[in-house]
Amino acid sequence: MSTAYKLTGLRCGGCVATVTEALEALEGVEGVQVTLEPPRAEVDGAIDLATVRAALESHGFEVELEPAGSEENVAPGRALPVAAAAGRALPVATSAGAAVPRPDSPPETSVQPSVGAELASASPEAPAPRATEGDERVLALHGLTCGSCVAAVDAALRAVPGVREVAVSLPREQARVQVDPGVDTAALCAAVAAKGYRAELAAEAPGETTHATGGVRAGIALACAAVVMGSMWIPAAHAIAPWLGASLATLALGCAWPVFLAALQRTRALSASMDSLVALGTLAAYGLSWHNLLRGGALHFGVVCMILGFVLFGRALESRARAQTGGALRGLLGRVPPHAHRLRGDQVERVPLSEVQRGERVRVLPGEVLPVDGRVRSGTSEVDTSALTGESLPQAVGPGDEVHAGTLNGAGSLDVDVERLGADTRWGQVLALVERGQGTRARVEREVDVWAARLVPLVLLVAVGATFGWALAGAGLGPALLIGVAVLVVACPCALGLATPTAVVVAVGRGATEGILVRDATALEGLAQAQRVVFDKTGTLTAGAFGLEEAVALQDVQPEVLLAQVAALEQHSEHPLAQAVVSAAAAQGPVPQASEVQVHVGGGIEGLVDGVHVRVGSPRWLREAGVVGELGDVLGGGVGVGVAHGARLVGALRLRDAPRAGAAEVVRSLRDAGLEVTLLTGDRVAVAERLGAELGISDVRAEVTPAGKAEVVASLERAAPTVMVGDGINDAAALGMARVGVALGGGTDAAKQQAQVVLLGDDLQALPRALRLGRATLRTIRVNLIWAFAYNLVAIPLAAAGAISASWGAAAMALSSVAVVSNSLRLRRSQDTKAS
């Protein structure tokens, strides 16, 4: 019996391996087939949904039965939808106008198809599209204070029909909800309100958090505490001290109205949070003090003021620190100017950017940041694109050239026709990736939120037990109640809830400032766990463009003469490699003139040079022209074009796809960090091994089709956490099978859509920094969690034992959350991710 299950939370090849291992360990399972796209598992054997759900939810995945007859029941994971012929790439023209195989193409076979057939077989099918994500709603949340709040909101949203995926962020006080088209936003907000929180559609731009009001309230409450405590030491004030304390404690309660309102909302929703603990503790002390004031006994109004003062002050500090975690995003947002110089006829007017429309024209003055995407209508300048692409040198632009928002104009003035604005610009898309990455949740965060949600009721039980225990032991109702209050206010589920998301938010922002776009928090975990990095060759480790390596001549022709003859023909070609050939020949001596030159598009070029009929072209074209000789023997397995005198092969130009600048340093850096490095390519074995030897990569796997690449990466991922780095459409399937897929910013859209991390521009040297960022983030999360768990494990028993007073317990609780956020902020200044 085979049963299909729909999975939620499946993000990478590592998830696939985890699910597979967990299901195979279950009794009664005879076979398991897990696919990433669509995220599903097909299980053979007699096993029920509850057992499967229990096995996978412990790993952070959610499970539901897949409807019978759905399209997803056809498991596409059994065979990757990439044609075997996709391993052969389209020919590229050489300097001679000839067609030579791309470096990733397999060896030439004996069967030569027609040009039309070769084009058809060389076009790879696109990778399987991701399942449609429907609509995304971003909700601004109000009232979140701790991990139990996150868990409650997450569960409420997931219970709404039509909701596919939920990501609740405590630092950003935001929820990203993937829903089926047609799901009403009001239903989502109502589900959140039913749990005692408030939700509304978030504005397009993240708002600023105001800390001043909370700081003022905290100051008033602490001042009240100081006056109440001081009155006890002034003999003249003893007569009015009780009523003064009652009045000031009431004022302090008023300052803390958000805490009590939130607690009331949770109570109505039959739930509890950090606000519930604080409210219950202070109201108990406040009520006991009023009872003793009227009946006689010890007063604790000062304790009430101190608890609320410390709680409010700690939250103000925490709010300020949490706001700083989004500083990188605000810096990116602030790069695009809010105004533009709009052209209306001969008039230039400075207007808000929101008033500029597509199709209008704006003028960008020297030294200004471009506010829009568009094309230069007039003017010339140099534009610094480093913030967008990572390109270190300014790019010359003129009429007809495309320019982008967020880039810096040089010394010239440009008139630009507006094509895209705001979120539609390339800069806006970068911001969207950063913001979405900051809102995602790491796998460990889900597990921590479960513990944080359990902590609140556990603390309530401990507080009640401690109160009754001390009272029965003869301590008296007043002291026993204060010990219970101390237990309530010393507990800090906030620290648990903030430990992971604050580190993620800071890390994603830090990466964005260094050209590393992290699209998913789980990628940071994967980067930290990586033990192997797999590189595609063409366009990743190499520049992806052929260059002249050397002229190879047979015995009766000198290489210098051969190169000069080819250069004589190439002077009549406009191909980019032609100039390289001519320059190389000119460096050796004068270049002769050629006559009767004929260019055969896609084949080669021929003409007379010093009375000799010279032909330069691809192996096929030379054979068709009747040239005798095997070009493969001359090239020695390399890539190039042949040179013939009449019908006799006399040599070749060996072409080479040169390594990308800094590639060797990147490989060395990865190996020094203890990672295994693999080169995975569709190119010939000889070419791949030569590049591997040059870059220091011993594990080279060549002549692999795109489907084969995916299989190899999946196999490596099962053995150890693997990062795949690629840039082409033929890498997309392999990127999806790795623990983390990394795409170069200059790569294809298919690769970037499949990858979890995108390196802006083509800066391969950002990869080691990305790996260090992942490790630094995981270290920070671990420190945060150790502190948060240790604090609660130590502080709660001490408070229950009467060793910590309620006032100092509140202070300790407030500082615990601030300590976690402050530790996360250290990632902003960490040296681990800086370029060496």
Residue 536 is among the residues annotated as catalytic for this protein: yes
* Torsion angle (degrees, nearest 10) of CA 575, 580, 584, 586: 60
The Cα–Cα gap between 416 and 402 comes to 9
| Residue 357 three-state SS | coil
Distance CA 258, CA 616 (A): 81
Q: CA-CA distance, 232 to 549, in Å (whole number)? A: 90
Q: In the structure encoding, which two tokens stand for residue 349, read together?
A: 């007017």
> Which residues does residue 517 pair with via DSSP β-bridges, in sequence order?
758
- Provide the 8-state DSSP code for 326: T
Assess contact for 595 and 576: CB atoms under 8 A: no
DSSP assignments along 484-538, one per residue? HHHHHHH--HHHHHHHTHHHHHHHHHHHHHTTEEE--HHHHHHHHH--EEEEEII
Q: What angle do CA 83, 84, 89 make, to 5 degrees?
A: 90
* Separation CA 268–CA 261 (nearest Å): 11
- The H or E element spanning position 308 is helix 301-325
Pick from 702, 736, 698: which is nearest to 717 by CA?
Answer: 736
The alpha-helical segments, DSSP class H, found in 102-160 are: 115-122, 147-158
Partnered with residue 552 across adjacent β-strands are 652
Catalytic residue (one of 275, 536, 731, 763): 536
Cβ neighbors of 618 (< 8 A, separation 6 or more) are 91, 94, 98, 99, 100, 603, 604, 641, 642
Closest CA to 436 of 176, 189, 777: 176
Strand order in the sheet with 381-384: 395-397, 381-384, 408-409
Question: Rounded to an integer, what distance in angstroms lies between the CA atom of residue 129 and that of residue 131?
Answer: 6
Half-sphere CA count of 553, side-chain side, radius 13 A: 13
CA 763 to each of CA 516, 533, 744, 835: distance values in angstroms, whole numbers, following the listed order? 9, 16, 7, 11
Which parts of 147-273 fold into alpha helices (H)? 147-158, 185-194, 212-231, 241-255, 257-268
Give the contacts of 165 (CB within 8 A, at least 6 positions apart): 8, 133, 177, 178
Q: Tell me the C-alpha distance between 157 and 165, whole Å.
A: 9
Q: Is the dihedral of CA 744, 750, 755, 760 positive or negative?
A: positive
Helix (H), strand (E) at residue 794: helix 766-800
Write the DSSP symbol of residue 539: I
CB hemisphere CA count around 789 (13 angstroms): 10
Closest CA to 502 of 798, 166, 785: 785
Asked if residue 741 lies in contact with residue 757, where contact means CB atoms within 8 angstroms, the answer is yes
392, 423, 385: which is closest to 406 by C-alpha? Answer: 385
C-alpha distances (whole Å) from 406 to each of 334, 388, 403, 429 are 9, 7, 9, 11
Catalytic residues: 536
